[in-house]
Structure 1
Amino acid sequence: MNAYSRLMDGLYLLCMGIAAVALLIMVTVIPIGIFARYVLNGALSWPEPVAIVCMIIFTFIGAPVGLRAGTHICVSMVTDRLSETGQKWAQRLCNLLLIVVCLILLQASYSLCEAMWIQPLAALPAVTYGEMYLPIPIGALFTLLFVIERILNGDQSQRPLVTLGGTH
């Protein structure tokens, strides 16, 4: 294992931890909002925007984890029927297309964050829309790094660290 894969191992664990904390906060905050609205008859303004921010974090920081672990949604009906050489070419094409998508997403989401950086959320004035959308370009960058790792070092989904969660 080379230094880049060790660095990606750390990034993988960091992304997994951040996504897990975001999910934990989200599933804690939503019942608080429901309880306040229907039991205490007093709706709180902050649970919904906090849950939305957590969902954005969970989605865009958790997606690179799924990509590296090979647990993302994929349809392999066609590629499974290809020869070994055809499968390698399909994988290369997939990696190339994923790089293009990551670069487009990175550029577009960075522009979005930049444009919305000073616009505060009404329910959480300490947080701006630019900060709320920041996980999108970060997640695109992390995904790009994991795709580069897959190109350089091959599939990482069967390594002991990656199968740690027992999802395979």
Structure 2
Amino acid sequence: MKNTLLRVNDAIYLTCIWVAGLAIAVMALIIPWGIFARYVLGNGAGWPEPVSILLMVLFTFVGAAASYRAGAHMAVTTFTDRLPVAWQPALGVLVQLLMALICLFMTIWGTKLCIATWNQFMSTLPTLRVGISYAPIPLGGFLTLIFILEKLAFGDQSHRRAVNYELLEDSKEAV
């Protein structure tokens, strides 16, 4: 069961990385096009800026979930590092529970925000619903919550693949 859940979370993690990476890559193509259209063609398109902003929001929330699982998300440990070592495991669990509360808040209230603004349309992109533009908030909160629960249940997974790869290399050398 544990291995199945870890494989599912691996797939979610890789999907987060691909979605965030594609969002930033497409954004990197759209912004120069908007500049080119405005200053070279003399016909500024209205869609590049709002689409780029939406992609940045997607990149931010989905990328944050991936970076959390990778152990690369920002963490300020100045206070906890100075506390007694015996307290640190309990504080680690407390931090995870507080993070879970924040993610639960993002998921619930972000979903309510999407529902509340579903019938509104963006002025700069009249075919796009405002609720869709807010969708990365509950999505990112939910994905991060999955990774927090994984960390609480199975421990930190940020180094698991590297360890497995090293064991694989060691077993090849032994043969």
Query: What's the TM-score, normalizing by structure 2?
Result: 0.87
1:84 Cα deviation after fit: 3.4
Query: Quick one: distance in 1 between partners of 2:83 and 2:7?
Result: 32
| Residue 45 (structure 2) aligns with | 44
Displacement after TM superposition at 1:126 (Å): 2.2
SS across alignment from 1:90: helix
Contact 1:68-1:157 within 8 A present in 2 as well: yes
Q: What SS does structure 1 have at the residue aligned with 2:128?
A: coil
Q: Distance in 2 between matches of 1:11 and 1:23?
A: 18
Partner of 1:84: 85
Q: How does 1:106-125 map to 2 (within 5 A)?
A: 106-125=107-126
Which residue in 2 is equivalent to 1:64?
65
Cα distance in 2 between the residues matched to 1:161 and 1:124: 44
> Helix, strand or coil: the match of 2:98?
helix
Q: Does 1:13 align with 2:11?
A: no
Report deviation, 1:82. 3.2
Amino acid in structure 2 at the alignment position of 1:5: L
Amino acid in the other structure paired with 2:9:
M
**Deviation of the 1:122 alpha carbon:** 2.2
Cα deviation, 1:27-69, whole Å, max 9, x if unaligned, reads 1101111111122221110001110110111011111111011
Task: Give the distance between the partners of 1:58 and 1:7, measured in 2 at CA.
Answer: 21
Contact 1:9/1:161, CA 8 A, preserved across alignment: no
Count of matched residue positions in the alignment of Structure 1 and Structure 2: 163
SS at match of 1:71: coil
Residue number in structure 2 paired with 1:98: 99
Contact 1:61–1:138 (CA<8 Å) still a contact in 2? yes
User: Runs of 4 or more off by more than 6 Å in structure 1?
Assistant: none
Q: 1:112 is matched by which residue type in structure 2?
A: L
- Greater Rg over alpha carbons, structure: 2
- Ranked by relative contact order (alpha carbons within 8 Å, sequence separation 6 or more), the top structure is 1
Tell me what 1:136 maps to.
137
Q: CA deviation at 1:19?
A: 0.5
SS class of match (1:120): coil
Instruction: Please report how far the alpha carbon of residue 161 of structure 1 lies from its aligned counterpart in structure 2 after TM superposition.
Output: 6.6
2:172 matched residue in structure 1: none
Aligned to 2:168: none
Structure 1 pair 161/27, CA: closer, same or farther in 2 (3 Å)? farther
Question: C-alpha displacement at 1:75, in angstroms?
Answer: 1.4
CA distance in 2, matches of 1:15, 1:161: 19
1:83 offset after TM fit, Å? 3.5
Structure 2: how far apart are the matches of 1:84 and 1:102?
27
Q: Using the aligned pairs only, state the percent identity.
A: 42
SS at match of 2:161: coil
Structure 2: gaps spanning 5 or more residues: 166-175
